[in-house]
Amino acid sequence: MIPCEVVRRHVDAVVDGEVDADTQIEFEQHLTDCGPCRVHLAFTRSFKETVKEACKSPDVPLTLAERVRASLDAEDARRDAAQPDAPISKREPQPRPLGLGGIRLAPMRARYVVPAAAAAVALAVIAAQEGSIDPAIDGGLSITTAAAGASIFEDIVHRHSDEHPTEVRGDEAQVADWFRGKLEFPVRPIAFSTPEVRLVGARLSRVSNRDAAAFYYTVRGRRVTVMVFEPPVGLDRMAERTTVRGRGLFFGRAHGHTVPVVQHEGLSYAFAGDLDSRALMRLAASADLRR
């Protein structure tokens, strides 16, 4: 099976349809079994669509557009003429190896090169203007790849699965008092309208090298962990959006778990638990953060 690093290195080629058929099948087999890579692919596809939308062609005289397309088609015809031994419909492309893993690219037609170049320029402009595409931002966290988002969600799932002991127990006021001065941002337990949700305790924790508070709850005997932390810039672009019971949520997936995230006053509240995905999403949507 193709390893994750190869999938992520060449995900642009997959999205653009530039790999050969055999390689495409191998990628699809990998994506079937790998949630983080599916998130990476989904983000890349979404980002490219956003760039494409932002780079819509300006209105130009039709004759000029026709002349440009004719010139590009002429270049394609010149390339095709370099393979004179077979009809055009049967000529095999001459793929070149990408290197790692033996992945191959199919040649891009000339009339698509210009839009692709425009997208690359747009990406560079966005990087210069927003400063949000540098992999060194936020302590080494690349906020322009779904891999970065996946790593955050993986970290949250690990924190839940590891079952670290609580450092404080008590009612909501006691737990909130214990956290005072221990973090650079104020935190307190979340209130829920249903009595089925019971606060067990809390502790200091970390999410992707960021200070965090971990709150532990039980819901009908099942464990739920809520991680509260200051999110990296662009976390909303690493996750998918949805609406549950009228409330907007973000969510990601890791190791078979869905991780809903509620944003409130500059903090992220991420849920991981032993509930099924729908129940966990409904629980996140019911969280009272207005206190």
Q: Is the pLDDT of residue 86 over 70?
A: no
pLDDT surpasses 50 at 192: yes
Tens digits of per-residue pLDDT, 128-168? 544 443 333 333 333 344 555 567 899 999 999 988 899 99
Q: Which two tokens stand for residue 27?
A: 């990628």
Q: Fill in the DSSP letter of residue 19.
A: B
pLDDT for 179 equals 96
Residue 104's pLDDT is 53
What band does 122 get if pLDDT is binned at 50, 70 and 90?
A: low
Q: What are phi and psi of 57, to 5 degrees?
A: -65, 135
- The CA distance from 179 to 279, in Å, is 28
| Closest by Cα among 171, 217, 214 to 196 | 217
pLDDT, greater one: 290 or 134: 290
For residue 184, the Cα-to-chain-centroid distance in whole angstroms is 27
Is residue 239 over pLDDT 50? yes
Q: Which helix (H) or strand (E) holds 262?
A: strand 257-264
- Orientation of helix 35-54 relative to helix 21-33, angle to 10°: 120
Looking at the DSSP bridge assignments, the partners of residue 222 are 219
151/240: higher pLDDT? 240
Yes or no: say if 84 and 96 are a contact pair by the CB < 8 Å rule. Answer: no
Beta bridge partners of 253: 258
Q: Which of 76-85, 122-131, 275-284 has the lowest mean pLDDT?
A: 122-131
CA 158 from centre of chain: 18
Q: Where is average pLDDT lowest: 73-87, 106-120, 169-183, 224-238?
A: 106-120
The helix or strand, by DSSP H or E, that contains position 11, with its residue range, turns out to be: helix 11-15
pTM value is: 0.51
Neighbouring C-beta atoms of residue 173, cutoff 10 Å: 10
| CA 126 centroid distance within chain | 18
